[in-house]
Structure 1
Amino acid sequence: MEGIKMVTIGGGSSYTPELVEGLIQRYHELPVRELWLVDIPEGAEKLNMVGALAKRMVKRAGVPVDIYLSLDREEALRDADFVTTQIRVGLLEARAKDEAIPLKYEVIGQETNGPGGLFKGLRTIPVVLDICKDMEKLCPDAWLINFSNPAGMVTEAVLHYSNITKTVGLCNVPIGMERGIAELLQVEPNRVRIDFAGLNHMVYGLEVYLDGMAVKEQVLEKLVHSRDGITMKNIVDLGWEKEFIQALNLLPCPYHRYYYQTSKMLDEEKKDFEAKGSRAQVVKELEKELFEMYRDPELDVKPPQLKERGGAYYSEAACNLINSIYNDKRDIQPVNVRNNGAIKSIPDESAVEVSCIITKDGPKPITLGDLPVAVRGLVQQIKSFERVAAEAAVTGDYQKALLAMTINPLVPSDTIAKEILDEMLEAHKEYLPLFFTKVR
């Protein structure tokens, strides 16, 4: 049949209208024939609400996309062309634990960094690898586009522990950084491009271009003097020390604040937790409001309030990538892929987040040499953490999990690492069967 079959696992997510909007806007060159939205039984109510809104959106737009809702992953995956994953194992209740428990030990509690990032990876990787097994049987030629966090660690696991080679990890941070720079320079977004290199949520801008001209120094100067820095809804902007940014001579991503401003970010987290609870609790309230809107049978567009959810530019990043693969556009986009020599000091077989040329055969990493010595060690340390954490996730090995926790730079000691690990293992026991199927 003509057209594309696309499957979104985690289709009941509040983000899905972003994806649907992106597909509608690109239908003239990205002809999605079928969009299957898949979820688990616990997410059936949300899936039905999101699915009904998606159907109203395509009807309003007048595009011939058939929307299917399913709780049967195998039924949905058969003969798919593109599979996107946007899952949250344990739902927002698990995220709340990831954020709250580390704070008890004076450690950053964040969903993709530190102990929280480790545990999100431990819960998510086995589920994504099960999806990969289904894809091997039902749609072996499909592209897997993973948006589930921690995207870098998940991509690492898929590359090492599955037979799915057509896989790309995706994040909205780089596109958000480019949009932030465009606002800083007061220009249209399509005039700005950044050379990205590093890891997911640990990526640096090596150079910034405006209309093809290098402007990094001017951008860094504006960045330290601007009241509105480049950040995200879930990361407080504390500004940067001018001399530090000048010495770094790279554009940091919002998540670097956890590593370069650890004590200040911890203080902010504790204050926010006392005042409003965890970010998960804030998101729960936002989602409650969003799903009330989605329930309205008159709503047939993506509501503007979705921007508050923290996933800005998700559809743009996801749909741009799929569009460029499908149409062999050979444009440049930052994605998570196998390194293949793009960054000299990272193993070739490891996942990196780097600017790539997007072709019909997938992303081709642009060789950028090596990272500056000032940031190389931190990136390598996080890559070591991701590698060990992925191994722990697929084996259920307690000692590997402890090692991963301890080598993470946000955890101060092996003793604290063990205390946090033990408490979080017990808290997430339901979603970590591999760690509890044998006596430790």
Structure 2
Amino acid sequence: MMKDNRKFSVVIAGGGSTFTPGFVLNLLKNQDRFPLRKIKFYDNDAERQKKIGDAVSIIMNERAPEIEFEYTTDPKEAFTDVDFVMGSIRVGKYHMRSLDEKIPLRYGVNGQETTGPGGMAYGLRSIPAIIQIIDWMEEYSPNAWMINYSNTIAIVAEACRRLRPHSKVINICDMPIDIMTRMAQICGLKDYHDLDFNYYGLNHFGWWKGVWDKKTGKDLMPELKKYVSKNGYWVGGDFDKNTEASWKETFKKAADCYALEPNTLPNTYMQYYYYPQYEVKNADPNRTRTDEIREYRQKIVFGECERIVKEGTAENNMWDRNETHSEYIVDICHAIAYNTGEKFLANIPNNGAISNMDPDSIVEVPCLFTSHGVEPISTGEAGIFQRGLMMEQQTCEKLVVDAYEQHSYEKMWEAFALNKTVPDALVAKKILDDMIPENKPYWPILK
């Protein structure tokens, strides 16, 4: 039930993303709790955005003709008269993601888009683009909120803390939410909305201290631990009928991550830090996750957009089901718009949320979402094992932002050398030296 008569204007920065059509469908399905008057796309790749935008135009005309829709490459047009900016950009697109994955694998190091050297390379590319979007938002719509889910989140959030500390930007990630929907399935519930939780860590680097049935208060950790110890977060059956093979292995590998530290439940990304040799051994240096996406998701999404444009109708489209990714963003926008104080995860300066971590560490913890921002909830102390891991990882992330600010080769090398996925400083240097020329269009000149 609507709380007032307001309707909101949103811009999706990254209009050419393969996730954008599904996000739009979810926005339309949630008009009862987050009503819209305008949806805009912004992207600096006009050709890619047009493929998505033309199909979404047909969706909008059929499903919600009363909502204005446009897509543009003009920042002023895009960011004027908006209430929310959704940040979904990938600087360098899949070409650079592929290099993020494949260059480390040349040297026996994890090739993954948000962890290890690849994640740090991606983060360094993202910083100036996100800062630019924040500046456009503040120039053209100074009262707007930016919900950023552009990776690498931890590095971007640290850059925001330093470079735009007073900006209305909230950095989020949906991976814990996806895992919590799996937890709900394991426990016979519907999805993450049915769970209460205590979680702490860094982005793509965290643990659940507690999980409860939100309605009854029942402690679900014993049941979840028993299940995860054998199956990881793999559910199977109809729930996982469309899950890709690489994700199946990821969800199952959580069992091995749990075995190392059985007092908590791990984020799936911990596999890259706990078992880096396993990850390298089971990777194909010539065919990484990017190649799977190009052959599967990207091909399917752009093919569906082409079909919709050709047929002139979006009936029976592939996105006519809720996606956890976009459902979570709608939840957050609703909470901010209507000052509900609901609890979700955000990546914010620690300031005591994890009592034994530095105040200026960017941490991922539960927060209350309100119309004036997010209020972190104390999660207590981190365990000694987790704290040691977090101190190392967040130092890597800070060094990347140092490298950006200082144009420092030394700082970026130190970030690579310190990272748990990299065996020594010489390997770190080789990876960095290979990455520098490839990232020349995006990185500052490192001296």
TM-score, scaled to structure 2: 0.89
Partner of 2:210: 207
1:144 aligned counterpart, secondary structure: strand
Partner of 1:193: 196
How far 1:198 moved relative to its partner? Answer: 0.8
Task: Confirm whether residue 159 of structure 1 aligns to residue 164 of structure 2.
Answer: no
Report the AA paired with residue 209 of structure 1.
Answer: W
Write out aligned runs for 1:363-402 (5 A).
Answer: 363-402=374-413
Q: Deviations over 1:277-332 (max 9, x none)?
A: 1211111122122101111234526844799xxx9521011111111110112211
Report the AA paired with residue 27 of structure 2.
Answer: L
Write out aligned runs for 1:34-433 (5 A).
Answer: 34-40=38-44, 43-62=45-64, 64-189=66-191, 190-210=193-213, 211=215, 212-226=217-231, 229=234, 234-235=246-247, 236-237=249-250, 238-239=252-253, 245=259, 247-270=261-284, 273-274=285-286, 277-286=287-296, 287-296=298-307, 297=309, 298=311, 299-300=313-314, 303-304=317-318, 313-432=324-443
Q: 1:152 to 1:55 in 2, by over 3 A?
A: same
In the alignment, the residues of structure 2 paired with residue 301 and residue 114 of structure 1 have an alpha-carbon distance, to the nearest angstrom, of 42
Q: 1:338 to 1:18 in 2, by over 3 A?
A: farther
Q: Deviations over 1:188-222 (max 9, x none)?
A: 22322322211110021110112322221221111
Q: 1:104 to 1:74 in 2, by over 3 A?
A: same
How far 1:80 moved relative to its partner? Answer: 2.1
In the alignment, the residues of structure 1 paired with residue 203 and residue 316 of structure 2 have an alpha-carbon distance, to the nearest angstrom, of 27
1:213 aligned counterpart, secondary structure: coil
Q: 1:312 to 1:26 in 2, by over 3 A?
A: closer
Query: Which sections of structure 2, spanning at least 5 residues, go unmatched?
Result: none
Q: Deviations over 1:1-34 (max 9, x none)?
A: 9521211111111110122122112212212211
Report the AA paired with residue 217 of structure 1.
Answer: P
In the alignment, the residues of structure 1 paired with residue 8 and residue 318 of structure 2 have an alpha-carbon distance, to the nearest angstrom, of 28
Report the AA paired with residue 12 of structure 1.
Answer: G
**Aligned residue pairs, count:** 427
Report the AA paired with residue 294 of structure 1.
Answer: C
Partner of 1:6: 10
2:48 aligned counterpart, secondary structure: helix
Q: Which moved more, 1:106-115 or 1:159-168?
A: 159-168
Q: Deviations over 1:356-384 (max 9, x none)?
A: 11111122111111111121110121111
Q: 1:240 to 1:278 in 2, by over 3 A?
A: closer
Q: 1:406 to 1:139 in 2, by over 3 A?
A: same
In the alignment, the residues of structure 1 paired with residue 257 and residue 40 of structure 2 have an alpha-carbon distance, to the nearest angstrom, of 50
How far 1:256 moved relative to its partner? Answer: 0.5
Contact 1:172–1:314 (CA under 8 A) maintained in structure 2: yes
Q: 1:284 to 1:133 in 2, by over 3 A?
A: same
Contact 2:228–2:258 (CA under 8 A) maintained in structure 1: no
In the alignment, the residues of structure 1 paired with residue 290 and residue 320 of structure 2 have an alpha-carbon distance, to the nearest angstrom, of 16
TM-score, scaled to structure 1: 0.91
Contact 1:12–1:50 (CA under 8 A) maintained in structure 2: yes
Query: Which sections of structure 1, spanning at least 5 residues, go unmatched?
Result: none
Report the AA paired with residue 210 of structure 2.
Answer: E
How far 1:333 moved relative to its partner? Answer: 0.9
Report the AA paired with residue 320 of structure 1.
Answer: D
In the alignment, the residues of structure 1 paired with residue 138 and residue 68 of structure 2 have an alpha-carbon distance, to the nearest angstrom, of 24
Contact 2:12–2:87 (CA under 8 A) maintained in structure 1: yes
In the alignment, the residues of structure 1 paired with residue 220 and residue 441 of structure 2 have an alpha-carbon distance, to the nearest angstrom, of 50
Contact 1:39–1:47 (CA under 8 A) maintained in structure 2: yes
2:266 aligned counterpart, secondary structure: coil
In the alignment, the residues of structure 2 paired with residue 153 and residue 242 of structure 1 have an alpha-carbon distance, to the nearest angstrom, of 27
- Among all aligned residue pairs of Structure 1 and Structure 2, give the percentage whose two residues are the same amino acid: 28
Partner of 1:435: 445
How far 1:244 moved relative to its partner? Answer: 5.4
In the alignment, the residues of structure 2 paired with residue 421 and residue 428 of structure 1 have an alpha-carbon distance, to the nearest angstrom, of 10
In the alignment, the residues of structure 2 paired with residue 157 and residue 104 of structure 1 have an alpha-carbon distance, to the nearest angstrom, of 29
In the alignment, the residues of structure 2 paired with residue 168 and residue 302 of structure 1 have an alpha-carbon distance, to the nearest angstrom, of 34
Q: CA RMSD in A?
A: 2.4
Q: Which runs of 4+ in 1 moved over 4 A?
A: 230-235, 240-244
Q: Deviations over 1:69-89 (max 9, x none)?
A: 110112211232111111111
Contact 2:417–2:425 (CA under 8 A) maintained in structure 1: yes
In the alignment, the residues of structure 2 paired with residue 14 and residue 241 of structure 1 have an alpha-carbon distance, to the nearest angstrom, of 30
In the alignment, the residues of structure 1 paired with residue 355 and residue 160 of structure 2 have an alpha-carbon distance, to the nearest angstrom, of 22
Contact 2:232–2:254 (CA under 8 A) maintained in structure 1: no
